[in-house]
Amino acid sequence: MTFKKEYQMVSLEVDAHTSLPSGPLLLAVSDEYFNCEATLTIPKKEGFAGMCIYHLESCYAAAGLSGEAIELQTCISGYTNRSCVAVSTENAEVAIWTVKRDAQGISLGYRLAQEEKIRWVSTIHLPGCELSISFGPYFTNAGKETYTASMHALRYTRTEA
């Protein structure tokens, strides 16, 4: 894996046959209530880019988009569950992902650049994440060739309890 960091963007090459939790993860840690938005490129085929809530390699949850589908993954005590559902991204090149942490839990959602309303995908309660969480974008690639992904326009806002 190679990556390039500029003033307001990180781009990286996502190697073939990468999956969670061994694929590229860019993680931050927070012990407060917050909203976080990150603009990620949408892979055209065989790859997914989205947001991950991470506790350990054996405990995480993630949601990501490809050009043709949305993927939802959870792993609790090493037991993984993955669902993939066809969705239309209307040929969008980027999605704006939102992670929201509040008293109700941790929510993941996205919207396409031309939309204002967030499409909430899941509300998550992971063991070990009551006091603080690790979170951030993830990138996977089930294909045989690498692809270039990028993240930009990261915004983190603390919210009140």
Locate 2 and state its tokens: 């190679």
pLDDT confidence of residue 26: 77
Q: Where are the beta strands (DSSP E) in the chain?
A: 3-5, 9-14, 28-30, 34-41, 47-56, 59-65, 69-76, 79-86, 94-102, 105-112, 119-124, 133-141, 147-158
CA neighbours closer than 13 Å in the CB half-sphere of residue 19: 13
User: pLDDT (tens digit, 0 to 9) for every residue of the chain, 161 residues total?
Assistant: 565 656 678 888 999 999 988 877 777 899 999 999 999 999 987 899 999 998 888 889 999 999 999 999 999 998 999 999 999 998 899 999 999 999 889 999 999 988 999 999 999 988 878 888 899 999 999 999 999 999 988 899 999 87
Nearest-angstrom CA–CA distance, 11 and 122: 27
pLDDT confidence of residue 82: 93
pLDDT confidence of residue 108: 97
pLDDT confidence of residue 75: 92
Its pTM stands at: 0.90
For the chain, give every domain's residue range.
Answer: 3-158
Give the count of beta carbons closer than 10 Å to the beta carbon of residue 101. Answer: 22
Q: Does domain 3-158 have CATH number 3.40.50.10800?
A: no
